[in-house]
Amino acid sequence: MTSRERITIVLNGGVPDRVPIHDSYWGSTIERWRREGLPKNISPDSYFGTEIVRIGGDYSLQFPTKLIEETDRYRTYIDSYGATRKDLKLSAGWTPQWLGFTIKSKDDWLKHKDRVKYNPSRISTSAVNSCRQAHAQGKFVVYSGHATFHPTWQKVGMENMFIWMKEEPEFIVDMFEAHTQLMIEMYDELKKLGAEFDGAWFSDDLGYRNAPLISPEMYRELIFPFHKQLCDHVAKDGLKTMLHSDGNVEPLIPHFLEAGISCLHPLEAKAGLDVRQLKPKYVDKLVLFGNIDVRQLAKTKEDIEAEISSKIPIAKEGGGYIYHSDHSVPDDISFANYKFALELVRKYGSY
At 328, which helix (H) or strand (E)? none
What are the structural domain ranges in the chain?
3-60+103-348, 64-101
Q: State whether the Cα torsion 156-162-167-171 is positive or negative.
A: positive
Q: What is the phi/psi pair of residue 62, to 5°?
A: 55, 35
174 pLDDT band (50/70/90 cuts)? very high
| Residue 327 predicted with pLDDT over 70 | yes
Q: How far apart are CA 91 and CA 76, in angstroms?
A: 18
* Residue 224 CB coordination number (10 Å): 18
- 48-102 confidence digits (pLDDT tens): 999 999 999 999 999 999 999 999 889 999 999 999 999 987 655 567 899 999 9
Indicate the angle between helix axes 169-193 and 125-136, nearest 10 degrees: 60
| Residue 227 predicted with pLDDT over 90 | yes
Pairing of strands 287-289, 321-322: parallel
- 283-304 confidence digits (pLDDT tens): 999 999 999 999 999 999 999 9
The CATH number corresponding to 3-60+103-348 among 3.20.20.70, 3.20.20.210, 3.30.470.10, 3.40.50.11890 equals: 3.20.20.210
What's residue 49's pLDDT? 96
The percent of residues in the chain predicted with pLDDT above 70, rounded, is 99
- Averaged pLDDT for residues 258-287: 97
What's residue 88's pLDDT? 87
342 pLDDT band (50/70/90 cuts)? very high
What's residue 89's pLDDT? 78
At 342, which helix (H) or strand (E)? helix 335-348
Pure H helices in 77-168: 106-112, 125-136, 149-156, 158-167
- Averaged pLDDT for residues 165-171: 96
| Residue 240 predicted with pLDDT over 80 | yes
- Averaged pLDDT for residues 311-335: 97
What's residue 95's pLDDT? 74
Q: How far apart are CA 339 and CA 29, in angstroms?
A: 13
Q: How far apart are CA 59 and CA 46, in angstroms?
A: 28
What mean pLDDT value characterizes the chain? 96
* N- to C-terminal Cα separation, the chain: 13
Q: Report angle CA 201, 202, 204 to the nearest 5 degrees.
A: 145
- State the pTM of this model: 0.95
Instruction: Find, among 338, 238, 305, 293, the residue nearest to 30 by Cα.
Output: 338
Asked if residue 7 lies in contact with residue 289, where contact means CB atoms within 8 angstroms, the answer is no
What letter would DSSP give residue 247? Answer: S
